[in-house]
Amino acid sequence: MSPARRALLLAAPGLAWGQGTDDDTVHLGRALRFPRDHGAHPGARIEWWYATGWLDLAGSGPLGFQVTFFRSRTGLGELLPGRFAPRQLLFAHAALSDIGAHRHQQAQRITRWSGDPGARDSAAIVSDTRVYIGRWRLQREAVGDASRYRAHVGGADAGFEMDLVLTTTQPVLLQGHGGFSRKGPLPTQASHYYSQPHLQVQAQVARGTRVQMLTGKGWLDHEWSDELLPTGAVGWDWVGINLADGGALTAFRLRGADGTSIWAGGAHRSGVGHLRVFAADEVHFAPQRHWTSPVSLARYPVAWQIRTPSGRFELRALMDAQELDGRTSNGAVYWEGLSDLLDDSGRAIGRGYLEMTGYAGPLRL
């Protein structure tokens, strides 16, 4: 690019929108600051806010829910001048898993965003969690020392509609080393990542003409990165579990095409707040049972043995058919489902979500 062309672009009104700052750079030693780091990081390549959990249904199995908002930097802001350049893409996925009825529903949204924080239809705000695509939204508010998240997803085209209120009951769990989470052997293969386990959840769920007021438990992750997949990785396996004793367990691995682990990690925070961060060679996933999707033909492990420094566990999906087809939004087909965690004696000790990517084809971020 010529110097004159570069100068013209940098002088263009609104060019800085959605480009981010040096503060968005992922690096070891960067201290996460709140409420700023609850907000968006437009300079990072990819980012998501991910809420999952379950709602109690009287006389039936639980109702699992997933609400995820994604932001992806296109790189076009460096090339195209003006306030209407599509500097960012925003996506959202939502799903309901009715375990008792063996029914899985899903919906998604996608839009382009110039980076203008005042945009009416869609935006991801920097100062705090506030991301929206039309009527779909996720927003945080401070309630004393706690956080309260409000989410709205779904609609007539989805067959369901959810309004969620998720309130923190514990401090933020900084993943990795103070929120710096390695995802590969190179220092650049990392994210900034924190979790909010043991959320108290209140929900209004509408399915057809039936509207239910429900309560349950949840988990929220917020993560941003420039490079999440090391060379040779096709996807990952991840679990976030609310433990019955008040603790929280995270475990993940980046997986190669042959099914072996390229990198791994996670953490265990006990019910009294003691944190143990796992090294890459301390986390092991071994599949125990598989399910093949009739839609994508992907073969997913829906039961796992997971070994960490905090114990040996068995993870069991509560329903096999919990695949989400995101090909009309972010292009990913992945499995995201409510699961139970059992100890080595077969006793249920926790519940949460299992996520598996890259089984329907290599994941492209």
Q: In angstroms, rounded to a whole number, what is the distance separating the alpha carbons of residues 48 and 2?
A: 35
- Tokens 């390695």 belong to 182
What's the average model confidence in pLDDT over 172-194? 96
Q: Quick: pLDDT tens for 62-113.
A: 999 999 999 999 876 555 555 556 789 999 999 999 999 999 999 999 999 9
Q: In angstroms, rounded to a whole number, what is the distance separating the alpha carbons of residues 268 and 229?
A: 23
Asked if the domains 1-225 and 229-365 are classified in one and the same CATH topology, the answer is yes
Q: Quick: pLDDT tens for 268-314.
A: 999 999 999 999 999 999 999 999 999 999 999 999 999 999 999 99
Which CATH number is associated with domain 229-365?
A: 2.40.370.10
- CA distances 228 to 88, 183, 246, Å, are 18, 6, 29
- CA distances 267 to 98, 187, 280, 287, Å, are 29, 19, 11, 20
DSSP state at residue 177: B
Domain 1-225 = CATH 2.40.370.10: yes
Q: Quick: pLDDT tens for 226-262.
A: 987 889 999 999 999 999 999 999 999 999 999 999 9
| In the chain, domain spans | 1-225, 229-365
Would the CA dihedral through 355, 220, 63, 139 be positive or negative? negative
Helix, strand or coil for residue 124?
strand
Predicted TM-score (pTM) of the model is 0.91
Helix, strand or coil for residue 304?
strand
- CA distances 278 to 64, 134, 175, 283, 305, Å, are 28, 39, 10, 7, 17
- 269: Cα separation from own chain's centroid: 19
